[in-house]
Amino acid sequence: MFNKIFIACPISKYLINDGLDKEFEEFIKEIYGLCKEYRENVILALDREEYGKKKMYGDECTTLDYKEMKDTDLLIAFPENSAGVAVELGWASAMKKTILVFTDKKYHQSELVKSINSITEGENIEIDTRKGYKSQINIIKTAILKYLIK
């Protein structure tokens, strides 16, 4: 059973002034809410940073994310082209965490990211967000529920 879930997603590219791109914010809140329905302990840096209103930088966010990853059971990752999410995928795979990674046809994905589950439990789900995340929400939620209902 997965007691602690860490959701990794790009942040910087979606920041607009003192907030977040609304479409992405709605999407990630829906995923966060789904996870919270099934597990109490869900980590989402965007929630901690109040969706762009309380940004964290450098040592502060890196140290917090690494600490949270140590006792995470399941990583749900949306790498897009984020170097930060790539780092979190590296940490999780080195720590042998279960990883559910959503690789997106909209972005070039490294073969290392696509195949990360060859070295740890989990799976890669290919999505296509060229029409937005909402177009893929049912695929994403169904894949996540497989892990939450276990």
Q: pLDDT, tens digit, for every residue of 84-140? A: 999 999 999 999 999 999 999 999 999 999 999 999 999 999 999 999 999 999 999
Nearest to 50 by CA among 66, 71, 69, 29: 29
Q: Is the pTM of this model over 0.75?
A: yes
pLDDT at 150: 72
148 CB-near residues (< 8 Å, 6+ apart): 2, 34, 35, 38, 39
User: What whole-number distance in Å separates Cα of residue 39 and Cα of residue 104?
Assistant: 26
User: What whole-number distance in Å separates Cα of residue 142 and Cα of residue 94?
Assistant: 27
Domain ranges of the chain: 4-148
Q: Is 17 left (phi over 0), alpha (psi -120 to 50) or beta?
A: left
Is residue 113 within 8 A of residue 75, CB to CB? The reply is no
The domain made up of 4-148 is a member of CATH 3.30.990.10: no
pLDDT at 61: 95
pLDDT at 46: 95
Q: pLDDT, tens digit, for every residue of 37-60? A: 999 999 999 999 999 999 898 999
